[in-house]
Chains A and B, each alone.
Chain A
Amino acid sequence: MTTLRPFCAADLLKINEINLDPLTETYGMQFYMQYLAHWPEYFQIAVAPNGDLMGYIMGKAEGTATNWHGHVTALTVSPKYRRLGVAAALMKSLENISEKKNCYFVDLFVRVSNKNAIAMYQNLGYTNYRTVLEYYSGDPDEDAFDMRKALSRDVDHTSVIPIEHPVRPEEVDG
Chain B
Amino acid sequence: MATRVTPCPLAEKKMRPIYDLLDIGNNKKALQEADKLLKKKPNLSTALALKCLALLRLGKETESLDILEKLKNEGHVEESTLQVATVCYRESHRPHAICELYEKASAREPTSEDILTNLFLSYVRVNDFTKQRLAAISLNKLQPKNQYSFWTFISTLLQSVDSVNDLIPLCAIPADRHSPANDFVPSDKAKNAIALVHRLISKLANEGKLETEQEVLTYMLVLEMLRKYEEALTILDGPLASKLEPWTVLNKKLDLLVKLSRWEQVNDQCERMLSNDSDCWHCYLIYIDSVFELGNDRDFNIENKENPHVKAKAFIESLISSQEDAQFKKRGPYLARLEHYTQLMVRKMPAVELYGELLPLLKTYYVEFGSKETCVHDLRKYLQLSSEDAVKFLSFTYKIINLGEDGIPTDKNNLNLLASNLMLCRITGVNSVLGVNDERKFILNAVNKYISCRHLCLDAALTDPKPCDYLALVAAHSLFDLYISTEDTNYLFDGIVLCEYVVSQSSHDVQMKILLLKFYHLLGGTEGAHMVYNSLDLKHMQLDTLGYLHLFPLLANASYDHATLVLNSSIKFFTNNSKESADHVTFAYKYEALTKIPEFIGIKDRMTNSAHCLLSTVEKMLCEMFTAPGFTNAIELAKAMEITVNLERIQWNELWDNRDFSLLWDIEAPDQRLTEECIVQSHNHNLLLLRLKSLHLHSIVTALNIGKAEPNRVETEADQLKEPDETNKDLTYAKTRSKLMDYIVQFEEALKPVKHNIPSPLSKRYIAGPPVSRLTLMLQVNYFDLILIQLRFLHSIVPCEDGNHKKCQFQLDSMVLFMDEYLNYLRTITGSPLIQLRNTVIQVCALLVELICFSCIVVGVCEVILNKSRPNFAKRNKRKKENAQRVTESPDEFEWRVSLFNQFVTFMVEIVKNVESLLKSEEKLWDDKKSKVCELAILGNVENQEEAEKLKAIGYGSVMKTLCHSYTSNISLMSTVLKEKTKYLNSRKLQGSERKIV
Q: Which residues of B contact A16 (CB under 8 A)?
A: 542, 545-546, 660, 662-663
**B245→A29 contact, CB < 8 A:** no
With CB as the reference atom, state the residue of chain A lying closest to B610: A13
A89/B279 contact (C-beta < 8 A), A17-B662, A17-B663 known: yes
A48 near B593 with CB under 8 A, answer no
- A-B contact number at CB 8 A: 154
Contacts of A116 in B (CB 8 A): 461, 464
Which parts of B575-597 form the interface with A (CB within 8 Å)?
577, 580-581, 583-584, 587-588, 590-591, 593, 596
Residue of A at shortest CB range from B213?
A41
A selection of 24 A-B contacts at a CB cut-off of 8 Å is: A1-B279, A1-B330, A1-B374, A2-B280, A2-B281, A5-B173, A5-B174, A5-B282, A13-B603, A13-B606, A17-B663, A26-B542, A27-B540, A29-B540, A29-B584, A37-B587, A41-B245, A50-B380, A79-B510, A80-B665, A85-B328, A93-B247, A96-B247, A115-B461
B391 adjacent to chain A (CB < 8 Å): no
Q: Across the interface, do A49 and B587 meet the contact criterion of CB distance under 8 Å?
A: no
Contact, CB under 8 Å: B281 / A47: yes
B876 at the interface (CB under 8 A from A): no
Task: List chain A residues, Cβ under 8 A from B546.
Answer: 16
A83–B467 Cα gap in the complex (Å)?
12
Smallest beta-carbon distance B785→chain A, Å = 37
Question: Is A30's CB under 8 angstroms from B245's CB?
Answer: no
Min C-beta distance of B327 to chain A, whole Å = 11
Question: Contact: B662 with A52, CB < 8 Å?
Answer: yes
Among A1-50, those with CB < 8 Å from B are 1-6, 8-10, 12-14, 16-17, 19-23, 26-30, 33-34, 36-38, 40-41, 47-50
In angstroms, how far is the closest chain B Cβ from the Cβ of A42?
A: 11
Chain B min CB distance to A28 (Å): 5
Task: Tell me, rounded to whole Å, the shortest Cβ–Cβ distance linking B687 to chain A.
Answer: 18
Answer yes or no: A167 CB below 8 A from chain B CBs.
no
> In the complex, what's the smallest C-beta–C-beta distance from A75 to chain B, in angstroms?
15
**Of the candidates B173, B465, B591, B662, which one forms a contact with A37 in the assembled complex, judged by CB atoms under 8 Å apart?**
B591
A112 sits at the interface (CB 8 A): no
User: Contacts of A17 on B, CB cut-off 8 Å?
Assistant: 510, 662-663
The docked-state distance in angstroms from the alpha carbon of A34 to that of B280 is 28
B540 contacts A26, C-beta separation under 8 Å: yes
Bound complex: CA A58 to CA B572 (Å): 26
CB atoms of B330 and A6 under 8 A apart: no
A120 proximity list for chain B (CB < 8 A): none
A97 close to B (CB within 8 Å): yes
* Complex: chain B residue closest to A31, CB-CB: B540
Q: Which of A5, A10, A79 contacts B599 (CB 8 A)?
A: A10
Bound Cα distance from A82 to B461, whole angstroms: 15
* Alpha-carbon distance A82/B460, docked complex (angstroms): 14
Chain A residue contacts of B339, Cβ below 8 A? 49
Docked-complex contact B332 and A1, CB < 8 angstroms: yes
Interface centre among A19, A23, A33, A34, by most B CB within 10 Å?
Answer: A33
Shortest beta-carbon distance from B121 to chain A in Å: 13
Contact A8 B660 (CB under 8 A): no
Question: Which residues does chain B contribute within 8 Å of A23, judged by CB atoms?
Answer: 463
Residue pair B584, A50 in contact (C-beta under 8 Å): no
B66 at the interface (CB under 8 A from A): no
User: B328-355: which residues lie under 8 A (CB-CB) from chain A?
Assistant: 328, 330-332, 335, 339
- The answer on a CB contact under 8 Å between B596 and A36 is yes
A13-B660, A89-B279, A115-B461 are known; give 10 further A-B pairs, CB within 8 A. A5-B172, A6-B173, A14-B660, A20-B536, A22-B462, A28-B540, A36-B593, A40-B593, A50-B378, A81-B374
Closest residue of B by beta carbon distance from A14:
B660
Collect the chain A residues with CB atoms within 8 Å of residue B588's CB.
36-37
| Any B CB within 8 A of the CB of A84 | yes
A100 sits at the interface (CB 8 A): yes
Bound-complex Cα distance A4 to B540 (A)? 25
Q: Which of A26, A27, A84, A97 sits near B372, CB closer than 8 Å?
A: A84
B665 / chain A contacts, CB cutoff of 8 Å? 80
A residues 83-141 near B (Cβ < 8 Å) are: 83-85, 89, 93, 96-97, 100, 113-116
- Asked if A10 and B603 sit within 8 Å, CB to CB, the answer is yes
**Contacts A16-B660, A37-B596 given: A79-B587 contact, CB under 8 Å?**
no
Return A122 CB to nearest CB of chain B, in Å: 16
Q: How far does the alpha carbon of A4 sit from the alpha carbon of B174 in the complex, in Å?
A: 9
B602 and A9 contact, CB distance less than 8 A: yes
Q: A49-B281, A49-B378, A97-B245 are in contact. Are A10 and B332 (CB under 8 A)?
A: no
How far apart sit A14 and B606, CA to CA, in the bound complex (Å)?
13
Q: How far is the CB of A145 from chain B (nearest CB, A)?
A: 16
| B510, A37: Cβ atoms closer than 8 Å | no
A22 to B542, CA, bound (A): 15
B922 at the interface (CB under 8 A from A): no
Q: List chain B positions with a Cβ less than 8 A from chain A.
A: 168, 172-174, 213-214, 245, 247, 279-282, 328, 330-332, 335, 339, 372-374, 377-378, 380-381, 461-465, 508, 510, 536, 539-542, 544-546, 577, 580-581, 583-584, 587-588, 590-591, 593, 596, 599-600, 602-603, 606-607, 658, 660, 662-663, 665
Contacting pair A13 B662 (CB below 8 A) = no
In this complex, the member of A10, A16, A116 whose beta carbon has the largest number of chain B beta carbons within 10 angstroms is: A16
A93 to B461, CA, bound (A): 28
CB atoms of B279 and A29 under 8 A apart = no
Contact A30 B281, CB 8 Å, known A83-B372, A116-B461: no
Asked if B600 and A79 sit within 8 Å, CB to CB, the answer is no
Please state if A9 and B603 are interface contacts (CB–CB under 8 Å).
yes
Is A80 a contact partner of B542 (Cβ separation < 8 A)? no
Contact B587 A8 (CB under 8 A): no
| Chain B nearest CB, measured from A19 CB (Å) | 7
For B607, list chain A residues within 8 Å (CB). 29
Distance in angstroms from B226 CB to nearest chain A CB is 23
Given contacts A9-B599, A9-B603, A10-B599, contact A38 B593 (CB under 8 A): yes
Collect the chain B residues with CB atoms within 8 Å of residue A33's CB.
Answer: 584, 587, 600
Pairwise interchain contact A21-B510, C-beta atoms closer than 8 A = yes
Given known A-B contacts A8-B599, A26-B539, A37-B591, A49 and B335 have beta carbons under 8 A apart? yes
- In the bound complex, residues from chain A placing their C-beta under 8 Å from that of B539 are 26
- The answer to whether A10 and B606 have CB atoms under 8 Å apart is yes
Contacts of B508 in A (CB 8 A): 21-22
Q: Please, which residues of chain B bring their CB within 8 A of the CB of A113?
A: 461
Contact partners of A81 in chain B: CB under 8 A: 373-374
Q: How far does the Cβ of B301 sit from chain A's closest Cβ, in whole Å?
A: 30
For the complex, give the distance between the alpha carbons of A113 and B462 in Å: 11
Nearest 3 pairs between A and B by C-beta? A37-B587, A9-B603, A33-B584
A30 and B580 contacting across the interface, CB-CB below 8 Å? yes
Q: How far is the CB of B429 from chain A (nearest CB, A)?
A: 17
Separation in Å of the A118 CB from the closest CB of chain B? 11
Inter-chain CA distance A80–B470, complex, in Å, is 11
Instruction: Determine how close the nearest CB of chain B comes to the CB of A6; give it in whole angstroms.
Output: 6
CB atoms of A50 and B381 under 8 A apart: yes
Chain A residues lying within 8 Å of B373, measured Cβ to Cβ, are: 79-83
Do the beta carbons of A10 and B602 come within 8 Å of each other? yes
Contacting B590 at CB < 8 Å: which of A21, A37, A48? A37
Instruction: Note all chain A residues with C-beta closer than 8 A to B332.
Output: 1
B-facing mask of A41-85, CB < 8 A → 1, else 0? 100000111101000000000000000000000000001111111
| Cα–Cα, bound, A17→B465 (Å) | 13
CB <8 Å contact, A82 and B465:
yes
For residue B245, which residues in chain A have a CB less than 8 angstroms away from its CB? 41, 96-97, 100
Q: In the complex, what residue of chain A is closest to B373 when comparing beta carbons?
A: A80
Contacts of B330 in A (CB 8 A): 1, 85
Distance of A83 Cα from B713 Cα, bound (Å): 77
Residues of B near A8 (CB, < 8 A) are 168, 172, 599
B497 shortest CB reach to chain A, Å: 23
Q: Which residues of B contact A93 (CB under 8 A)?
A: 247
Count chain B CB atoms within 10 A of each CB in A8, A93, A97, A115 and give the residue with the most. A8
Write the nearest CB–CB distance from B611 to chain A, whole angstroms.
13
Q: Which residues of B contact A22 (CB under 8 A)?
A: 462-463, 508
Closest B residue to A10 using CB positions = B603
Least Cβ distance of A74 to chain B in Å? 14
